[in-house]
Amino acid sequence: MAAILTCLVKTFQWIPVLFINAVIIWSYYAYVVILCFESVQSVYERAVYLMFYHPFFVMLMISYWRTICTSSGFVPSQFFLSRADREALDNGDPKEVLEKVSRKLPVMTKTLSGAARYCDVCQAIKPDRCHHCSMCRKCILKMDHHCPWVNNCVGFTNYKFFLLFLFYAILYTLYVTGTVTKYFVAFWNNTLEGDGKLHILFLFFVALMFFISLWSLFGYHLYLTGNNKTTLESFRVPHFYYGPDKNGFSLGSVMKNAEQVLGLNRWYWFLPVYTSIGDGVRFPIINQPEEDSLLNAQHRWLEEGELDGHEDQQYENKEDSSANSLDVSTAELVNENEVETQMPNRARPDVVAVQEYEEVKDGTSTL
Ligand SMILES: [Zn+2]
Ligand SMILES: [Zn+2]
């Protein structure tokens, strides 16, 4: 019975997607067949309309379906509690156990109370910016929100496609509204020829309505992208080990923040291909207070008590660091040289994150 119910719920969740697709396909029929082939008299005008219409339509559909079909990704296995950890969690102090496990992971954020972020359902430590989605029933990397219109979570893996979907939907509706206006006016003046007059009337209103309503959503997501925030983070300030920081993930400039989502090569920014930077688990941090960072690093290092024998693990040297664009982080790494030489990478998520960023800039990332 429960299985049938789950199946029904999953089927109903596709209704909004079917609705949006039906509207887009109907708009194609109304524009191409009714407007261009039945109402537009000039062959030249028809050719121009169709030539510019189709790129918008194709890009809109690809972006939309890539947002729907892209897997929301998986939390890496090391974030899941081992059997021994789960037993310790059941029998010991949960906060202490989770804290111990999370120290080995590249996590910078905590709960409001300062405890490790843990998902009870998945039985895993949540990576930074990861949240559990009750609709998808799993933890989503860099979760932005669950979108019923794509029946998928919008997160690290498909955020670029979602942005492009909004972008091309705006261009599409603007283009349709602009080219249909002349025929919409002709409809009111009773000078429009053909049988599909109502299609043109509705096409104008639907395109205009979507154009106006999508602008506010797109504008909001442009703001989020420029500030390196997610929708969830804009509502709830992330808590780092050094305290709450609403701009904690920002890299200091709109362009650098945009590159995290759209990629380093600007030729690909407007193409629905995956170019986002990183692995969805580690994020470069430049805003941490230097003093706090040093104290916290020392504190964590002393608490860890597992550093003997790791002295040979060195971070990037000054020469390598000076070439990168994360100037603040690099400066911090150099200033903290004394501590760094004794700390293993896994105990320093900020360093891991910066190294990861460097790898991606060098084109060595695997994602
Ligand atoms: Zn979860
Ligand atoms: Zn979801």
Identify the active-site residue in 36, 130, 147, 153.
Answer: 147
For residue 175, the CA-to-ligand 2 centroid distance in Å is: 32
Q: Which ligand is nearest to the CA of 155?
A: 2
Among all bound ligands, the one having the nearest atom to the CA of 153 is: 2
Residue with tokens 């040979």: 312
Cα separation, 274 vs 272, whole angstroms: 7
Res 255: pLDDT: 95
Beta-carbon neighbours within 5 Å of ion ligand 2: 133, 135-136, 146, 153
CA distance 57 to 36: 15
Centroid of ligand 1 to alpha carbon of 86 (angstroms): 15
Give the whole-angstrom CA distance, residue 304 versus residue 322: 30
Which amino acid type is present at position 258? A
What is the Å distance from ligand 2's center to 240 Cα? 24
Q: Which of 88, 209, 72, 175 is nearest to 132 (CA)?
A: 72
3-state SS, 339-367, equals: HHCCCCHHHCHHHHHHHHHHHHHCCCCCC
Is 89 in contact with 82 (CB distance < 8 Å)? Answer: no
Dihedral sign for Cα atoms in the order 20, 21, 24, 27:
negative
Residue 89: what pLDDT? 84
Q: Give the pLDDT score at 291.
A: 54
Residues 6+ apart with CB under 8 A from 85: 97, 101
pLDDT on residue 341:
29
Tokens of 227: 């500030």
Angular region, 85: left φ>0, alpha ψ -120 to 50, beta rest: alpha
pLDDT beneath 50: ranges in the chain = 293-295, 297-367
208 alpha carbon to ligand 1 midpoint, in Å? 39
- Active site annotation includes 130: no
Dist CA 50 CA 47 (whole Å)? 5
Rounded CA gap, 73 and 79, in Å?
Answer: 14
| Encoded amino acid at 274, one letter | Y
Q: Which two tokens stand for residue 259?
A: 């590159």
Contact by Cβ (8 Å): 109, 125: no
Nearest ligand to the CA atom of 135: 2
* Structure tokens that stand for 93 in this block: 């102090």
Q: Do residues 182 and 39 touch, judged by C-beta distance below 8 A?
A: no
Residue 169: partners with Cβ closer than 8 Å, 6 or more residues away? 60, 64, 210, 214
In sequence order, which residues have a C-beta less than 8 Å from that of residue 212 and are 6 or more positions away? none
Spatial distance between the Cα atoms of 346 and 306, rounded to a whole number of angstroms:
11
- Condensed to tens digits (0 to 9), the pLDDT of residues 91-142 reads 878 888 898 888 889 999 999 888 999 999 999 999 999 999 999 999 999 9
pTM of the prediction?
0.77
| Ligand 1 centroid, distance to 359 Cα (angstroms) | 28
Q: Is the dihedral of CA 156, 344, 246, 334 positive or negative?
A: negative
Residues 360, 277: Cα–Cα separation, whole Å: 6
Give me the residues paired with residue 124 across strands.
Answer: 80, 119
Angle at 142 between CA 250 and CA 136, to 5 degrees: 160
